[in-house]
Amino acid sequence: MISEQQLERWGQAPSPTEMEKIKRTREIIEEKIKNNFPVAELKAKYHMASLQLPSVYLQGSYANSTNIRFDSDVDIVVQLDDVFWSDKTQLSEFEKQQYDLTYPKSEYNFIAFKNDIYFTLQKFFGYNTKISDKCIKIQESTNRVNADVVPCFQYRLYKKFISFKDQEFVEGMKFLNTGNNTEIVNYPKKHIENCESKNVDTNGNFKSVIRIFKNMKRDLVESGVLNEKLAPSYFIENLLYNCSSPCFDGNYSKCMINTLQFIFDAMKTGRMTGFICANEQDSLISSKTWNLLDAQNFIVLLGDYYLNTNK
């Protein structure tokens, strides 16, 4: 069994130096967009009544402070709120009509927005800026880390729409994979908010155990036992979010036994198929998220590694 001392090392939060560099990366990108995104030109060109600067924020493990040493590039979201996509399937016909009267379709589309963000950043980062299907990649330098900048529109999952002043929705973000034109919807703000609440409820052990799981996954990948694509880090965070808060009581050894037992019990009883993502909007197990067999194989390999490894 892996020792408590090793679990403590794996569970440690990212160093202040690392987090400061990540913070600085976001600040640099936000500054360039704030000072150079052509708001006035776009507002006139697309006949927009209102257009504010996009908001810039972190998403993923760095935003959630669950990153480990070997995590990938930092994800930085650049979100436009004045133009947004909506899911109105839960609204009545009357509410849909009210929505359409309130929000006419915008002329400004996502492809144009993504290109505008690219040209804004490329002007300053030059050859260090590359546009890809899902994001804009900015190469690291002495004062910043590698960054995947994700342009997106705000996404609204509507629960109610009576009027502009009387509406309810869950905020997310949506963007297009411009390589194959597929739509991608996430709820990063809800994910961060719910994970932070869970971490407070568990006296900080929730995020520490996530880091332990991620470090164990890294060992399994490096030893050739596990295919890295079988268990993305995002799914690991969501998997552990489903464990009840008492699972994270005690030292890390107790947390490991309790969380593994909780997940194995859920596998045996079939409850695992009902697991949700931390944003509490998406199912964890589905054709669009995590394949059930992949999730089960991952937890079996990780449990075996924990119980039968001396480290």
How much is the pLDDT for 73? Answer: 79
R_g (Cα) of the chain, nearest Å: 21
How far apart (Å, rounded) are the C-alpha atoms in residues 66 and 43? 39
Q: Are residues 34 and 174 in the same domain?
A: yes
From 186, 208, 234, give the residue that closes a domain: 186
Q: Are residues 172 and 216 in the same domain?
A: no
Written as one letter, the residue type at 234 is Y
Q: Are residues 182 and 207 in the same domain?
A: no
Q: Are residues 255 and 119 in the same domain?
A: no
Cβ proximity of 292 and 273 under 8 Å: yes
7 within a domain of the structure (yes/no): no
DSSP string covering 197-240, please? HHHHHTTTHHHHHHHHHHHHHHHHHHTTSS-GGGS-HHHHHHHH
From 186, 213, 247, give the residue that closes a domain: 186
Write out pLDDT tens, residues 230-276. Answer: 999 999 999 999 999 999 999 999 999 999 999 999 999 999 999 99
Write out pLDDT tens, residues 151-191. Answer: 999 999 999 999 999 999 999 999 999 999 999 999 999 99
pTM value? 0.90
Q: Are residues 165 and 249 in the same domain?
A: no
Q: Would you call 145 helix, strand, or coil by DSSP?
A: coil
How much is the pLDDT for 118? Answer: 96
From 186, 217, 245, give the residue that closes a domain: 186
How do the pLDDT tens digits run along the chain, 311 residues long? 999 999 999 999 877 887 888 889 999 999 999 999 999 999 999 999 889 999 999 988 888 889 887 566 789 999 999 999 999 999 999 999 999 999 989 999 999 999 999 999 999 999 899 999 999 999 988 788 899 999 999 999 999 999 999 999 999 999 999 999 999 999 999 999 999 999 999 999 999 999 999 999 999 999 999 998 999 999 999 999 999 999 999 999 999 999 999 999 999 999 999 999 999 999 999 998 999 999 999 999 999 999 998 88
H-type helices in the chain, by residue range?
A: 4-11, 16-36, 39-45, 61-64, 93-102, 110-125, 188-201, 205-222, 233-241, 252-269, 292-308
Q: Are residues 169 and 233 in the same domain?
A: no
Domain containing residue 131: 14-186
Task: Give Cα 182 to chain centroid, integer Å.
Answer: 18
286 within a domain of the structure (yes/no): yes
Q: Are residues 176 and 201 in the same domain?
A: no
Query: Domain of 147: which CATH number?
Result: 3.30.460
Q: Are residues 161 and 251 in the same domain?
A: no
Q: Are residues 28 and 165 in the same domain?
A: yes
* Domains contained in the chain, number: 2
5 within a domain of the structure (yes/no): no
106 within a domain of the structure (yes/no): yes
223 within a domain of the structure (yes/no): yes
How far apart (Å, rounded) are the C-alpha atoms in residues 87 and 65? 30
How much is the pLDDT for 70? Answer: 57
Helix axes 292-308, 205-222, angle to 10 degrees: 90
How much is the pLDDT for 61? Answer: 85
Written as one letter, the residue type at 58 is L
Q: Are residues 176 and 239 in the same domain?
A: no
